[in-house]
Chains A and B, each alone.
Chain A
Amino acid sequence: MSDPVPAKPGAPKVKTKAMIQDNTRCIGCRACMIACKSWNERPADHTDFFAGPGYQNPRDLDANNYTLITFNEITTGARPNWVFGRQLCMHCEQPACASACPTTALRKTELGPVTFNSNRCIGCRACMQACPFLIPKYDYESRAPLIHKCTFCADRIEAQLKPACATVCPTGAISFGDRDDMVVEAKRRIATSPGTYVPQIYGLDEVGGTSVLHLSSVPFEQIGYITGLPKEPMPDLTHRWLRVTPHVFGFLYAVFGALAWIVHRRNKNRGPEEHHA
């Protein structure tokens, strides 16, 4: 287990980055999916017709698709509607995956991305069980399987570029910038166009806050988002107990150490003839 990289007290704060995924602007064109595959050099999918509602392909995120546009037909009476959602790693402020990973293959960096070091991954899939958004995907086809997920284009961000998806989106559905600014902008959009948005920023508070903030014109559960998540960071749930571990061991060490000392003393006090039993 490892804790997320803690900020050193007093160190100058590097501005952590975030994205807004504004589904009211998304036209479902999937340029983001192709740009992501291009940048991450993922192979093409062999698909049959469509795997999800509408034109959705593939059905879910997987080892070759780090982001996915979902197609959701929501019909009210005679009025059809088509709303698109996007799935990708949320790059949580306090990621459960990094907390669960036994080899520190996953790490929350200062700039925002939760990075993945494939050299350290042992394919144990603890991260898959820990992630509340069900993001890391396993490479079931491989003999040396690793997990796969969105990298937030950490290399591009370091080079002062935007993530590949944000770069190609034609409508500006994907915005990129400092998280503080993105939060302000998301709130501004909801405030100025209340009829357009449900008044919720998905990712603002969920599991302690994430680096991808989603906006939607319909309730998030209608477009396949996992809702009802707690506000507290996931590592806190286990940390509450696991942080006691050293103390428990320390306590047990003290107890057994004391018992050993007591028994040892008793043996010493009994004298030589008691050893001949």
Chain B
Amino acid sequence: MTNHWVDMINADVVLVMGGNPAEDHPIAMNWLTRTKERGAYILHVDPRFNRTSSVADVYAKLRSGTDIAFVGGMIKYALDHDRIQQEYVREYTNASWIVGQGYGFADGLFAGFDQQARRYDKTRWAYELDEQGHPRTDPTLKHPHCVFQLLKQHFARYDVDTVCRITGTPKEAYVQVCDLYTSTYAPDRAGTWLYAMGTAQHSHGTQNIRSYAILQLLLGNIGVAGGGVNAMRGESNVQGSTDQGLNFDILPGYLKMPIEEDSDLADYLKRVTPVAANQQSANWLQNTPKYVVSLLKAWWGEHAAAPHGFAFANLPKLGRGFQGQGYAFLALTHAMFAGDVKGMFCFGQNPAVGGANARLVRAGLDKLEWLVVADLFEHETAGFWKRPGVDPKQIETEVFVLPACSGVEKEGSIVNSGRWAQWRYRAVKPIADSRPDLDIIDGLARALKAAYEKDGVFPDPIRHLTWDYTEPGQHETDPHRVAKELNGRYAADVTGADGTRVAAGKQVAAFAQLKDDGSTLSGNWIYCGGYTEEGNLAARRDPADAPNGIGLHPRWAWAWPMNRRILYNRASVNRKGEPFNPRKWVIRWDAQKQAWEGDVPDGAMPPGATNPFIMLASGVGALFSPDLVDGPFPEHYEPVESPVKNLLSPVQSSPCAQVWRSTDFDKYGTVENFPLVATTYRVSEHWQTGAMSRNMPWLVGLVPHAFVEIGAALAAREGIKNGDRVVVSSARGSIEVFALVTERFQPYYVDDKLIDEIGLPWHWGYAGIVPGDIANDLTASVGDPNSWIPETKVFLCNLKKKARA
């Protein structure tokens, strides 16, 4: 999130789209309840009226996969009604930047598309540069090729009638949403945008999020109290896991992974260190070399020295990936099925149920030589070899199940969606020999180090790895040692610019002090400042609010970066440091003291010319973004499996989407055979694949069996009653579940065609107290081209009442 959970109480309008916080983030509803008490409106946009809709002021129905049409229409509405925060847009976004003549958009494609390779030549989207190499601008926003005018042109096609034809939203509800939400353009009103997997899990998921960012920038809602683009993250510590770089394409702190072509550290740093677009851009990531070197120093200690590029050679480099398709989950599962993957460590994940195209996933597991599962229960992945319909004798995988203990049985921090790292103590000792993940990894690492001492191909990265997370002679790891290393410390005695000496071994106070000369080490630069000589700031529990009273609670736990609670908060003040909204000010400049007060300012420099989006090389919010692979503006395309033609352009679905067709599991359906739109979602009572919750008898008592929710009209036509058994099928498989008939799923009229949508909670598998068929058996291996996330939120299916035997 750019903002955080408590901050929602500052919103005047809350828009929830692609998310269902009442069911999937129930604690968040505390803050939404409070903001409603203060008079805020809650707007919920969703294919299905669910428990979040029940407390919303306005519910707007939306056909799955048409989010960009919906939000594109809101962008046009804001532009047409002049509901933009003028000063903010002019000063703090790239609205005035002039795009080069190479850019264009026609018939559903941006300039530079290579049909063969299915990718864009992004150089066509470059800005027009002046003599100094800085982008030209037109502060009047009238230049025909300035971003503002191109934005208007691009979304001119997204009028209310067209949008509602595509999305199936009743016009009255749509206009209500547009009107209420764009009212937050006023400097003294703020709108917060909440979203989750319903937004992300699409073949254009990243562009979905881009559309939110564009609208929020136009309305002046980024960096202000009650604003933001706020992802409600899917697991309690997934924020922590992405922070630590668990995704294949990033290093801790969201540094970029090296690639094969980076021949040495200097090469790599040149490639990944951004250059400021102009002199007003603070371009904070110019400091990337300091963070990379400090990371290398944390990992390889004295073996990371300047003459050898600080052991840069020890980092793995990305190649073209599995079958040339990268390393993300969809590529991995295809590689497994092809027999290219020897073994797998599966920690806290259950891909046999949770992975898109789950039959493919399980077929891939069959091919592994070995599998190590660390989890609390023996779930479907751990027991894939004895699943229904399979003969264990035919499967040669050696499976190890390591019992992991739960979150309350171990000490450590969890980072919530609002970037708050909250330290937790161990409440009870782990049951039997179940262990914290840290202990399990520690045991593995030490065994590997011992093995590599004897021999191995390229042993240095493991042999020389700093690994000291236990007290000498102890068996249990100490998470404090890890946390301290993440923060970082001085590797050598250092004398500061003001002459003060800091001894080696002292914790670094802030990432501004990290160096690229090997004198500092830090396992994760964005966590630097969280465990200092002051102590473990994530363990703080002072509930007092800051003087500006907007729910910052600055001494409750610790937020990265540097305890800044609202990102880009320099955009909440004008060039003189005066808040746009004095009633809910985030930061403000005290001219007398010559200092900022309030939240930690996002860039400590005094107010003035420096632009507020300091993490972007441009320094300004991106209405137009040449960074994504599938277009500088979001454009509506239908999902890969869609019941209708794209009404907006001749390009049916995202031209860059990853669509696998290499195995028998990669089949796609058409509306003739699969006339219903399907989506997947979760319920409050179960958690993800049910690996934990379907082993909890009380929870199973509430929601025991797999079911599909279908609209009453559709049910009547098919002769299905509530509680009947039905078979739901897609081009990839079929499952049998109970039917829940409801008025809350209503059909859409898309250009006079009646389209029905049905929904499947995906919590069931063959393990646990109550088994159930796996909803992901129906989803496809289709990936977003930027994030590779699977399009599990929309596909085509069919539905039949189960014939009685």
Contact = CB atoms under 8 A, between A and B. Distances in A.
A45 B701 contact: yes
Contacts of B742: 54, 73
B701 A47 contact: yes
Contact of B27 (A48, A75, A170): A170
A267 interface: no
A25 to B, nearest CB: 5
Contact of B54 (A31, A57, A75, A82): A82
Contacts of B684: 27-30
A24 to B, nearest CB: 7
Overall SS of chain A's interface: loop
A48 B702 contact: no
Nearest to A33: B702
B323 interface: no
Contact of A47 (B53, B704, B746): B704
B52 interface: yes
A164 to B, nearest CB: 13
A80 B744 contact: yes
Interface residues of A, number: 36
A38 B698 contact: yes
Interface string A34-76: 1001100001111111100011011000000000000001010
Interface string A1-25: 0000000000000000000000011
Given A54-B742, A73-B742, A80-B744, A48 B55 contact: no
Contact of B704 (A37, A43, A49): A49
Contact of B51 (A24, A29, A37): A29
B740 interface: yes
A82 B685 contact: no
Nearest to A75: B743
Interface string A75-116: 100111111100000000000000000000000000000000
A33 B740 CA distance: 22
A170 B743 CA distance: 27
A258 to B, nearest CB: 65
A253 to B, nearest CB: 57
Contact of B698 (A29, A34, A75): A34
Q: Which of A27, A31, A78 has the most CB of B within 10 A?
A: A27
A49 B683 contact: no
Contact of A44 (B22, B59, B700): B700
Overall SS of chain B's interface: mixed
A49 B738 contact: yes
A43 B698 CA distance: 8
B608 interface: no
A172 B34 CA distance: 9
Interface residues of B, number: 38
B531 interface: no
Given A49-B723, A80-B746, A55 B52 contact: no
Interface string B694-723: 000111111111010000000000000001
Nearest to B28: A170
Contacts of B740: 49-50, 54
A27 B29 contact: yes
Nearest to B50: A82
Given A78-B170, A170-B29, A57 B701 contact: yes
B650 interface: no
B699 A29 contact: no
A171 B701 contact: no
B54 A84 contact: yes
B673 interface: no
Interface in B731-769: 738, 740, 742-744, 746
B26 interface: yes
Contacts of B705: 48-49
B30 interface: yes
B370 interface: no
Contacts of B697: 43-44
30 contacts: A27-B22, A27-B26, A29-B22, A30-B702, A31-B26, A34-B698, A34-B699, A34-B702, A44-B697, A44-B700, A46-B704, A47-B702, A48-B705, A49-B740, A50-B723, A50-B740, A55-B702, A57-B701, A57-B704, A73-B742, A80-B49, A80-B59, A80-B744, A82-B53, A82-B744, A84-B54, A170-B26, A171-B29, A172-B30, A172-B34
Interface of B: 22-23, 26-27, 29-30, 32-34, 49-55, 59, 170, 683-685, 697-705, 707, 723, 738, 740, 742-744, 746
Interface of A: 24-25, 27-31, 33-34, 37-38, 43-50, 54-55, 57-58, 73, 75, 78-84, 170-173
